[in-house]
Amino acid sequence: MPRLCIEVQGVVQGVGFRPSVYRLALAHGLTGAVWNHARGVTIEAQGGATSLEAFLRAIQTDIPPPARVANLACVDLPEDPQAEGFRILASDEGGDIRPVVPPDLAICPACAEETDTPGERRYRYPFTNCTYCGPRYSIIASLPYDRPHTSMQAFPMCPACRREYSDPLDRRFHAQPIACPVCGPHLTLRRLDGGSLSEGEDALHEAVVALQEGRVVAIKGLGGFQLLVDATSAEAVRRLRDRKRREEKPFAVMFPDMASLAAACELGEAERALLASPEAPILLVRRRPGAQVTEGIAPGNPRLGAFLPYTPLHRLLLALVDRPLVCTSGNLSEEPMAFEDDEALRRLGTLADVFLTHNRPILRPVDDSVMRVDGDGPTLLRRARGFTPLAVAVAGFKGAPTVLAFGAHQKATVSLLHQGQLVMSQHLGDLMSLQGADLLARTVEDLLDFFGVQPDRLACDLHPDYASTRLAERLSNEWDLPLLRVQHHHAHGAACMAEHGLKGPATALAWDGTGLGSDGTLWGGEALAIKGDRFERVGHLRPFPLPGGEAAVREPRRSACGLLWSLRGSGSPPPTLAPAFDGPEWNLLQSMLAKGLHSPVTSSIGRLFDAVAALTSLHARHGFEGQAAMALEFAAGDRVESPYAWDLKAGMANPSLLLEGVLSDLAAGQDVAFIAARFHTSLADLALAWTELSGLPDVVLSGGCFQNARLTGLVQAKLTDAGFRVHRHRTFPPNDGCISLGQAVVAALG
């Protein structure tokens, strides 16, 4: 009788893979065993040739939804005449990197059905989970991943749960967060002073009434507190905006079910699949005219960040409220999300009217992930719940030094590169606040503890004032480890190259707001030829001054003023820009520019977007980061217009002709859509000119500007038509969320 040794790699641990192998082996009458180890899962199986063949197919297809077989290799073994039964063996210890636990996963269809079925033990139980779904990363204190090491240690299993937990044929076999109404966590509705208003089902119903009355409910979700409010009520949304001091930045909306979401938004097949996936991200989708959500959710934005309830608690709540709800992170803008009860009561007391909380502690904050599908596939814009802490293989780094990389300053992440595997922390948000810097430090400790490795070197940005740089400097001293400083746009390009297994040389178009350049000026419109830890600046925008420096990030009108001054010298503002300045403001900026006071120069394409948005009267000031660029993208829509010309000398692109073109279109009374469309085409032209100048067949696109679907689509099409191989971010975000990855690979090569 044939006997096989089957090595399986992929997402195969902590997702019920071994129990399903066990069930399938029994179903096919095989003998043998299955066990976990550092690199994946090994199966030994003996039986008839046809049964083995069917079994091999089944373990790739007939497995739990979160499990994924990436690689399967078989070796023939000599027959074992004594073999009987099929067993799940204890994990093999050892190996280079500890086995990775899966991320927090959305409720699975089986658990959803169970909570919906009267008479079931877990009917309407908000903490139902199983091996295929529920909390993981957010509740683990330490490894190995078993119940005493999670925040479920405070809940001893009742006999019924214990039976399920111990039965290899049950879908809750070794489900560490297993719980039921008898032994598990329960809900409490709290006043702002922490006093209890009601418990269990009553708490749920009272929270529903509060939402229906337009009040703001803070809810303890899977990875932190969220603020909920009726998305169909303009007044309720206004109240939340006022309290959160968040005037225009779009809110995400959770819909009760797929049918209500599809009624409000246009969904393709890939979008439906993502929304219903175990990762259940917030998905940016096109809003239908007349959608049942108030305009104040995402003013002027044709897209909506939509998602589905991903915990039993959210499902129960949304079903009762029976309307879409704003569902946004529980924080004041620029601070990290609150995840502990006391902290939430303290920090969110001015934001929420009531707290729907529970007694299962969250041990680390994990935000909702954000994705978008366009053109030929999905893009991750924020990588957190559902993805962290999955390790991603990075080709070519097997024997490289272990690097801990500290990332950028906004959309911060930390990365650990070890033995060709990259583990990126969840999105940590901005590091402006003390809480943000604290979270960064805790996450660094967390990552090292979790994976049980010590770095050989550290990596950070060139910018000396980033909180991430300062932490890296401190730890480099404490641990006596070398610290490598990686230029921001080099890191962008290297991140996208690593994602696609490119060693270079490759051209990187790194376009974003700003990052510190190697020459001490602010870069952001770069074409770099990258090979390993080295790069050459092939092209860049001609630098222009930003009067007021940092203030220009919030005020596109300053970018417009600086750009005009650099190309035309002093003068009065064009008529479309003039209303953006009160009284002496314009002259003040002009004199700052003339004296060179507090006016750093930049080659940023993000700031060029700002300048054009201000000139076309879209936005003189930002309500949130990237707003002006988004407005230009939306204004352009799908329109294709002829480009403005560039004056390109030795890679330096002078935007003077572009600016003159915009001004003359404005003077001729052309509409914003026309100008925005021309501007986008011009940037695609510039991308091609730089790529041709660099002359390398592979091109990577990275930086916040490539969150712009219109720009990315145009650049990709133009470069592909010209015969270049274009690579975009897929697994990691194009924005500064990818910087720690880029730093890690550059430092590993250095």
Stretch that binds Zn ion, among 102-110, 586-594, 711-719, 728-736 (CB under 5 A): 102-110
Q: Which is nearer to Zn ion, 165 or 634 (CB)?
A: 165
- Exposed/middle/buried for residue 532 (C-beta within 10 Å: 0-12, 13-18, 19+): middle
Residue 112 binds Zn ion, judged by CB under 5 A: no
Stretch that binds Zn ion, among 123-131, 287-295, 355-363, 605-613 (CB under 5 A): 123-131
Among 25, 97, 133, 612, binds Zn ion (CB under 5 A): 133
Q: Which is nearer to Zn ion, 13 or 413 (CB)?
A: 13
Q: How many CB atoms lie within 10 A of CB 323?
A: 16
CB 395 within 8 A of CB 424: no
Closest separation between CB of residue 311 and Zn ion, Å?
11
Q: Which is nearer to Zn ion, 111 or 630 (CB)?
A: 111
Site for Zn ion in 411-470 (CB under 5 A): none
CB 206 within 8 A of CB 188: no
**In terms of Cα–Cα distance, which of 98, 81, 86, 79 is closest to 36?**
98
Amino acid code (one letter) for 665:
D
| DSSP state string for 440-461 | HHHHHHHHHHHHT---SEEEEE
Closest separation between CB of residue 316 and Zn ion, Å?
15
Q: In degrees, to the nearest 5, what angle opens at C-alpha 331 toward C-alphas 326 and 334?
A: 115
Q: Which is nearer to Zn ion, 175 or 491 (CB)?
A: 175
What Rg value do the Cα atoms of the chain yield, rounded?
A: 27
- Binding string to Zn ion for residues 482 to 501, with x set by CB under 5 A, is what? --------------------
Q: Which is nearer to Zn ion, 35 or 165 (CB)?
A: 165
Residue 15 binds Zn ion, judged by CB under 5 A: no
Q: Is the peptide bond before 118 cis (omega within 30 degrees of 0)?
A: no
Residue 180 binds Zn ion, judged by CB under 5 A: yes
Beta strand spans in 621-669 (E): 647-649, 652-654
Q: Which is nearer to Zn ion, 106 or 686 (CB)?
A: 106
Residue 552's contacts (CB-CB under 8 Å, 6 or more residues apart) are: 546, 558, 559, 562, 607, 610
Query: What would the two tokens of residue 54 be?
Result: 């069917």
Residue 161 binds Zn ion, judged by CB under 5 A: yes
- C-alpha 136/C-alpha 345 separation (Å) is 24
Closest separation between CB of residue 60 and Zn ion, Å?
21
Residue 148's contacts (CB-CB under 8 Å, 6 or more residues apart) are: none
Residue 211 binds Zn ion, judged by CB under 5 A: no
Among 141, 182, 395, 588, binds Zn ion (CB under 5 A): 182
Q: Which is nearer to Zn ion, 22 or 127 (CB)?
A: 127
Closest separation between CB of residue 157 and Zn ion, Å?
6
Stretch that binds Zn ion, among 63-71, 110-118, 192-200, 531-539 (CB under 5 A): 110-118
Query: What would the two tokens of residue 181 be?
Result: 């109404």
**Intra-chain end-to-end CA distance of the chain, in Å:** 53
Closest separation between CB of residue 698 and Zn ion, Å?
42
Q: In degrees, to the nearest 5, what angle opens at C-alpha 652 toward C-alphas 651 and 657?
A: 120
Closest separation between CB of residue 145 and Zn ion, Å?
17
Among 41, 43, 108, 630, binds Zn ion (CB under 5 A): 108
Alpha helices, DSSP H only, in 513-626? 551-554, 556-568, 585-595, 605-615
112-139 burial, b at 16+ Cβ within 10 Å, e below that, comes to: bebbeeeeeebebbbbbbbbbbbbbbbb
Residue 313 binds Zn ion, judged by CB under 5 A: no
Q: Which is nearer to Zn ion, 183 or 652 (CB)?
A: 183
Residue 158 binds Zn ion, judged by CB under 5 A: yes
Rounded to whole angstroms, what are the CA distances from 675 to 300, 547, 617?
A: 18, 25, 12
Alpha helices, DSSP H only, in 428-519? 434-451, 467-479, 488-499
Q: How many CB atoms lie within 10 A of CB 144?
A: 12
Stretch that binds Zn ion, among 126-134, 342-350, 579-587, 593-601 (CB under 5 A): 126-134
- Binding string to Zn ion for residues 276 to 295, with x set by CB under 5 A, is what? --------------------
Element spanning 71, H or E:
strand 68-77
Task: Indicate the SS3 state at residue 353.
Answer: coil
Closest separation between CB of residue 156 and Zn ion, Å?
9
Q: Which is nearer to Zn ion, 180 or 187 (CB)?
A: 180
Q: Which is nearer to Zn ion, 128 or 707 (CB)?
A: 128
Stretch that binds Zn ion, among 42-50, 104-112, 430-438, 608-616 (CB under 5 A): 104-112
Among 97, 130, 317, 611, binds Zn ion (CB under 5 A): 130
Q: Which is nearer to Zn ion, 141 or 182 (CB)?
A: 182
Residue 111 binds Zn ion, judged by CB under 5 A: yes
Number of residues that bind Zn ion (CB under 5 A): 10
Closest separation between CB of residue 159 and Zn ion, Å?
8
Site for Zn ion in 669-688 (CB under 5 A): none
**In terms of Cα–Cα distance, which of 260, 254, 255, 210 is closest to 236?**
210
Stretch that binds Zn ion, among 175-183, 205-213, 273-281, 671-679 (CB under 5 A): 175-183
Closest separation between CB of residue 166 and Zn ion, Å?
13
Residue 502 binds Zn ion, judged by CB under 5 A: no
Amino acid code (one letter) for 161:
C
Stretch that binds Zn ion, among 108-116, 277-285, 520-528, 586-594 (CB under 5 A): 108-116
Which residues sit at the interface with Zn ion, rule CB under 5 A?
Answer: 108, 111, 130, 132-133, 158, 161, 180, 182-183
